[in-house]
Structure formats: structure tokens, C-alpha cells
């Protein structure tokens, strides 16, 4: 992708227990292709100094670093939001609050809520948390069970793309396809041979997919 008028701004959102560091391969590839990349550390994640036990009790608090980035964008700028795993719910919150600032939202083997149920619904369906993650995390299920629905008018107005990883053992392939069937998206892409962490095992393929999505939808 050429630098200049085609330059895109990707905002990368990690999943539970991870941080901005997990995007280092993909961020480097996207930047090398002439794009701007912002990888966010959500609250109590990565190098963010807060702790879940007593400082981050609500999903909105956990999402605040992402929401701050969205709020700081210039009025005419629209970004490509990419959320991995639990990060799909952070994407949904940002989309609902700032739909005018998102050109396309990419759910990377991520939880993708609908606008007909509370956010906790998608977590209640199925989720096996990986056992090798590096920081204590939270799924905020109690908080999300009382949260309002994401709106069809705002969240539902943003173009969405889903990337399926067909060897994912944390969010199984069948569940990924169920989410898409339950809440149809503009496009579904598949990364074959990828586990739950395509940014590590299939970084080149993931970068290629993101660039294609940006070219087609952003």
C-alpha cells in the first residue's frame, strides 16, 4: 500500500490478559506497508499500571484507553479498528460511542455481540480462556450482564468484517461461524492453519488480510 492518500490508520486492540506487545509483528508489517498503527494497552493490561483487583472493576474502565484514543482523533479521521478475542467487545463499545470515526471494524477470531442481547450474552455462549496468558484478566460478565444493548443505529451502522482462524481452540471455528450467522457481516475471511493467536503464528497472512480489508472497505 502506498504512503500518501492511501495511508490508513489501524487501531489494534488485544484480547484478555494480553497487551499492545502482542501486535509487534503485525504492527511492524503494517507500518512497513506505509500505514499508521496504534496498538493500545487496555487498563490493567500490558504495561498499563492499573490492577484489576481494585482499580478496574467495570468494562468501561477497562476500555477507557481505547475510548480516549477514539475521542482524541481529529474530526475527519476514520480508523480501521481491529479487535482480537475479548477485544471484540471493546471494539463494539468504541463503535457504539464513535461510529462516525470507524471506517471498518475487524473482528479477529473475536467475540462479536449483536444489538438484540446484552453484551454478556456472547460470553455466556462459549469461552475457554487460554492457560498461557501473562496477566490476570477479567471477562466482566457480571458488569456486562447489566450493560445496555449495543445500538443498531450506532454499533450496527459500522461496516464489520470477521476473520476466522480455523484451528482456534479458545474460540472454536464453529462458534466463530455461529457469531457471523447470528449477526451477519460485510465479509468473512479465513486464515487457514491458524490457532487463536494469528498475530504470532500467521503474521504475514494476517497483515495481508488487513491490507485487503482496508483497500476494500476503508
Contacts of residue 199, Cβ cutoff 8 Å, sequence gap at least 6: 22, 23, 25, 26, 84, 206
Q: What is the mean pLDDT of residues 199-213?
A: 97
- High-pLDDT (> 70) share of the chain, %: 90
Residue of 9, 18, 84, 196 marked catalytic = 196
Predicted local confidence at residue 5, as pLDDT: 53
pLDDT, one tens digit per residue, over 99-137 is 999 999 999 999 999 999 998 888 776 544 433 344 455
Residue of 85, 120, 194, 209 marked catalytic = 85
Contacts of residue 25, Cβ cutoff 8 Å, sequence gap at least 6: 199, 200, 203
Would residue 84 show up in a list of annotated catalytic residues for this protein? no
The H-assigned helical ranges of the chain are 24-32, 59-72, 87-97, 120-125, 141-145, 173-182, 198-201, 203-217
* Average pLDDT in the chain: 89
More confident residue, 2 or 138: 138
Residue of 120, 168, 194, 209 marked catalytic = 168
* Among the listed residues 207, 25, 30, the one whose alpha carbon sits nearest the alpha carbon of residue 108: 207
Coil/strand/helix, residue 162: strand
Predicted local confidence at residue 147, as pLDDT: 87
pLDDT at 164 over 80: yes
pLDDT, one tens digit per residue, over 26-78 is 999 999 999 999 999 999 898 988 887 788 889 999 999 999 999 999 999 99
Domains (ranges, CATH) in the chain? Answer: 9-217 (3.40.50.1820)
Cβ–Cβ < 8 Å for 102, 8: no
Would residue 196 show up in a list of annotated catalytic residues for this protein? yes
Would residue 168 show up in a list of annotated catalytic residues for this protein? yes
User: The whole model's pTM is what?
Assistant: 0.91
Amino acid at each position: 500500500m502506498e504512503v500518501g492518500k492511501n495511508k490508513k490508520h489501524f487501531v489494534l486492540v488485544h484480547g484478555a490478559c494480553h497487551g499492545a506487545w502482542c501486535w509487534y509483528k503485525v504492527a511492524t508489517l503494517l507500518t512497513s506497508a506505509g500505514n499508521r498503527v496504534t496498538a493500545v494497552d487496555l487498563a490493567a493490561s500490558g504495561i498499563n499500571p492499573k490492577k484489576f483487583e481494585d482499580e478496574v472493576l467495570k468494562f468501561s474502565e477497562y476500555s477507557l484507553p481505547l475510548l480516549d484514543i477514539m475521542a482524541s482523533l481529529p474530526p475527519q479521521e476514520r480508523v480501521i479498528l481491529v479487535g482480537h478475542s475479548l477485544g471484540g467487545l471493546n471494539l463494539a463499545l468504541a463503535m457504539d460511542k464513535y461510529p462516525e470515526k470507524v471506517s471498518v471494524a475487524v473482528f479477529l477470531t473475536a467475540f462479536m455481540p449483536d444489538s438484540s442481547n446484552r453484551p454478556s450474552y456472547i460470553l455466556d455462549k462459549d469461552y475457554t480462556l487460554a492457560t498461557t496468558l501473562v496477566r490476570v484478566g477479567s471477562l466482566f460478565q457480571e458488569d456486562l450482564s447489566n450493560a445496555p444493548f449495543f445500538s443498531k443505529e450506532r454499533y450496527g451502522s459500522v461496516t464489520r468484517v470477521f476473520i476466522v482462524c480455523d484451528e482456534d481452540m479458545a474460540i472454536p471455528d464453529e462458534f466463530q461461524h455461529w457469531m457471523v450467522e447470528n449477526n451477519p457481516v460485510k465479509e468473512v475471511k479465513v486464515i487457514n492453519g491458524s490457532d487463536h493467536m494469528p498475530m504470532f503464528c500467521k503474521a504475514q497472512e494476517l497483515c495481508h488480510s488487513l491490507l485487503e480489508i482496508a483497500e476494500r472497505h476503508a
